[in-house]
Amino acid sequence: MKSFSLLTITLLCVALLLVDITAFYWLQSIMHFVDSVIFKTLLYTMFWLFTVGLVVSILVLKITLDAISPVRKQLLISRFYGLGVLSFVPKLVFIIVISILYFTNFLFSENKSLIIIPIIGVLSGFLPFFVILHGVFKAIYKFKVYHHTIESKRLPKSFDGLTIVQISDLHLGSFNYAYKKLESAIEKINNLKPDYIVITGDLVNNYAWELRGWDSVFKKLEAKKGKYAILGNHDYGDYSEWETPELKQENFEAIQHFFKTINFKLLLNASEVISKDTEKIAIIGIENWGKPAFKEYGDLKKAMANIENIPFKILLSHDPTHWPEEVIDKTDITLTLAGHTHGMQAAFQYKNLQWSPIKYKFKHWAGLYQHKSQYLYVNRGLGWLGFPARIGMRPEITFIALKTKT
């Protein structure tokens, strides 16, 4: 998880205070409809106790961060991240809505004390509060299976009906060793009875110690023919300061070893040829490929060496920006499986319509994309990072069935 300077954290706290001061101003303006002095005093006291408590706690956490154990540090940062969003967003929405309502009423209505304005204003604040609360405690572990069928003329007939389950961005450190939280996901995956299971990066947040005890969970994953994995940007330990390069390397090697422990073949700029009835397909896995500030370890040319004559190729590449940069129109890779974006862990989705602010950073950010006869699938992530919630963007298990197009 990215580390922010004390100045940045202080400015964030100032922003929180400014929003709260404005929200409190509007809160006072609508409380004249309430006659009870005791109720208003209690409400105002609770309002400022929470605000001051949150700001002071954030500053204290930042100042004492180095003295906290890495496990507890990760947990506390996520919790305060969640509390900050839970406090900031509803109040901001409340301020915007009630400001608009009062301004329009002042301009266009002779009745300057409509009770409907404070009612709508309060509801506008409570609605996002409960939506975020649901995202924190419910949706974050409400795993969803997305089913897709991909047809291709390149797929040999022997492989018609091949099934793949993709999971990505587990960020196991965020689960704080709550192994049971993933039991329903493991059960859903095994019930799909896939031929192959693939993990497309970001198994951890940063450290190998996050993996302690998870081997017994992931050994339960069942695939008929094989299990493969690649690394994501968080699996290299690049987001932490290390006392020596050797310690960073040890951490990296321990993460790689974990995949062997759970019987996943880790593809590091390499490919695997799969044969059936004299016909072949290839699964290619590259190390993380990304634009700055993400480091680039991936080498597609190296990974594709000696598989030029394989007709159907599946690429595992963590960052979806790799697809338009090096894959489409430059290779004959039919299907690319990626992750990385998490769908921002927040989106609006209704049937085939989906929107998230992440679309302004990533052109391909969630779901299935097609360019001529080449496909990209971007998994929405099974875990979470930073903000401990999923809002309109449930954690994903992807089930892909491959069909030979005639």
Residues contacting residue 361 through CB under 8 Å, at least 6 positions apart: none
Specify the pLDDT at position 121: 79
Q: Is the pLDDT of residue 110 over 80?
A: no
Q: What span, in angstroms and rounded, lies between the C-alpha atoms of 323 and 341?
A: 14
Q: Is the pLDDT of residue 366 over 90?
A: yes
Q: What residue ranges define each of the domains in the chain, with the CATH number in brackets? A: 6-137 (no CATH), 143-404 (3.60.21.10)
Question: Do 401 and 149 touch, CB atoms closer than 8 A?
Answer: yes
Count H helices and E strands in the chain, helices first: 9, 14
Q: Is the pLDDT of residue 133 over 70?
A: yes
Q: What span, in angstroms and rounded, lies between the C-alpha atoms of 261 and 264?
A: 8
Specify the pLDDT at position 329: 96
322 CB-side CA count, 13 A: 33
Q: Is the pLDDT of residue 303 over 80?
A: yes
Q: pTM of this prediction?
A: 0.90
Q: What span, in angstroms and rounded, lies between the C-alpha atoms of 186 and 203?
A: 15
Which among 72-76, 87-91, 110-114, 249-253 has the top mean pLDDT?
249-253
Q: Is the pLDDT of residue 26 over 70?
A: yes
Type and span of the H or E element at 71: helix 70-108
Specify the pLDDT at position 114: 61
More confident position, 116 or 20? 20
User: Tell me: the pLDDT tens digits for 194-233?
Assistant: 999 999 999 999 999 999 999 999 999 999 999 999 999 9
Determine the average pLDDT of the residues in 36-54.
92
Which among 37-51, 54-68, 104-118, 243-257 has the top mean pLDDT?
243-257
Determine the average pLDDT of the residues in 270-274.
97
